[in-house]
Amino acid sequence: MKSNIMAALLAVNLSPAFAATNATNSGPVEGVAVEASSASLEASKETPAQRDARMAWWREARYGMFIHWDMSSIAGTEISWSRKGSKPLDIHGDPAGYIEDPAYDNLYNKFNPTNFDAMAWVKLAKAAGMKYLVFTAKHHGGFCMWDTKFTDYSIMHTPFQRDVLKELADACHAEGLRFGIYYSPRDWHHPDYGLADNSKYVSYMDGQLRELLTNYGTVDLLWFDSYGHGDPLNFWHIPETWRLIKNLQPEVVINNRLAALRVKKNPLAVTNNNPAVSRGDFDTPEQRLGKYQDTRLWESCMTVVDAPNGGWSYRPDGKVKPFEETVRMLVSCATGDGNLLLDVGPDATGLIPADQSDCLLKVGEWLKQNGESIYGTRGGPFRPGEYGGTTRKGKTIYVHVIKWPESGPLKFPPLAVKLMNARLLGGGKADATQTEKGLEIAVAVSARQKEVTVVALEFDSEVMKLPAEPLTPETRDKSK
């Protein structure tokens, strides 16, 4: 019953009344041309309304925690990339074949993160206002953070011997945090990876995915990284892998990196007109904030730590982003109609370092006051600009102001709905006026917030179907 109502509401929210935009947020997916073949995949039985209902939790969540963690945290160097052995089939085109890196490949012998407490991580994510968590089960380096029967290169063969993925899944389920698994199809440690027709490796990967989707309860999200080079149909067996996943957990949300069949001409033909398999459920701009895009779901993944060549895993040489920048990243995603997946890198003892958690908790405090302008909203109706951006829900538009005009009010083009009230989130006075020329918003300097000021404008009717409007020259700040 509840999901029917949800589906009806979402069908309205996703109507094509949203202005068309160019799909700019597809993320780092390389174009490798392959011939459209007759690979069979039944067209998905999912209707658009069913898909909207399946994606509802994810779209309403807006904000999640990414965690990159394995034994690379002992060295404090970048996960996988700091492994000196070859990177077969990778973007750099190294030759296939496993080459040892004795230093990196033996780090796991010492991995004993006795401070690891899954519940503490989950409670941190919740206090930070995050609604889902995505954990690296296996990164490109091939080390497995769960009890897998397919390799000894796993957490069960460290001194720690605990299935951390299981503990995290259980903690998420107990606390009502949505649980996601990151899995890298690239595997620079596995001897079969990229060899011959890759089929032995594909069996390994499919076996592991079966484990992950069978032994850990509900998996809400699968976050694949790109699969490197190789024909998606013959070298990888993407449609078959996709079907395996969907048979085990039909509701799972899947990003675009496994799915994106790198077919330039007609990807839909390859997948029997099943756009899910060719594009996945959402786009994934990485280490950059997505542009306004309301025609396809998207999520920016960003590290809270800035470090040379990464910052995904524990990097003591990195620097945590300031709170102001972090909260503005969230605002940028929400006003652009996307999600933010913010990454932390726990240390080798199992703790999320205090400088990272402090920043997260400050955003959590901000969300306590301003969360109604983020959760469950859509971007628009005004497009983001130098001023900030807007989100909307029901009859309310939330104006997120980062930069005020040097003098006078902030101006927006006219809207076809009637302004009833204006209020400042967190208290204080906001003045808003509506004329034929448009909307004007003024907030006293003393009432503005340093990181972002949020003004809620309440109208007499729905604002969800208004087209996404750019600011016009008349409404842009002329002092710039």
Q: How far is the CB of 2 from ligand H79 (least distance, A)?
A: 33
- DSSP 8-class letter at 65: E
**214 versus 309: smaller Cβ distance to ligand H79:** 309
Residue closer to ligand H79 by CB (options 68, 190) is 68
Q: In the bound complex, what is the minimum distance in angstroms from residue 300's beta carbon to ligand H79?
A: 11
52 vs 299, beta carbon nearer ligand H79: 299
Return the residue nearest ligand H79 (CB atom).
Answer: 309
d(CA 246, CA 213): 10
DSSP string across 425-473: TTSS--EEEEETTEEEEE--GGG--SS-EEEEEEESS--TTS--BPPPT
HSE-CB of 410 using CA atoms within 13 angstroms: 26
What is the C-alpha to C-alpha distance for residues 314 and 77, in angstroms, rounded to an integer? 7
With both helix axes pointing from N to C terminus, report the angle between 48-61 and 2-13 in degrees, rounded to the nearest 10: 90
Report in angstroms how near the CB of residue 30 gets to ligand H79 at its nearest.
10
Of 231 and 299, the one with the shorter C-beta distance to ligand H79 is 299
Neighbouring CB atoms inside 10 A of 315's CB total 26
Residues that bind ligand H79 (CB under 6 A): 68, 81, 225, 286, 301, 309, 312
| Per-residue H/E/C for 328-386 | HHHHHHHHCCCEEEEEECCCCCCCCCHHHHHHHHHHHHHHHHHHHHCCCCEECCECCEC
CB of 80 to ligand H79, least distance (A): 6
Q: Output 168 or 301, the one with its CB closest to ligand H79.
A: 301
The helix or strand, by DSSP H or E, that contains position 327, with its residue range, turns out to be helix 323-335
Evaluate whether 409 touches 387 at the Cβ level (below 8 Å): no
Work out how close the CB of 81 gets to ligand H79 at its nearest, in angstroms, rounded to a whole number: 4
What is the arrangement of strands in the sheet containing 253-254, beginning at the earlier edge strand? 253-254, 221-224, 178-183, 132-138, 63-67, 339-344, 299-303
Nearer Cβ to ligand H79 (117/286): 286
CB 135 to ligand H79: min, Å: 12
CA dihedral 51, 54, 60, 66 (to 10 degrees): -110
Q: How far apart are CA 101 and CA 167, in angstroms?
A: 30
With contact defined as beta carbons under 8 Å apart, do 128 and 304 qualify?
no
> Based on CB atoms, which residue is closest to ligand H79, 184 or 326?
184
Query: CB of 145: closest distance to ligand H79 in angstroms?
Result: 13
Residue number with CB closer to ligand H79 (63 or 81): 81
Min dist. Cβ of residue 28 to ligand H79 (A):
6
> How near is the Cβ of 178 to ligand H79 at its closest, in Å?
18
Residue placing its CB nearer to ligand H79 in the complex, 345 or 380: 345
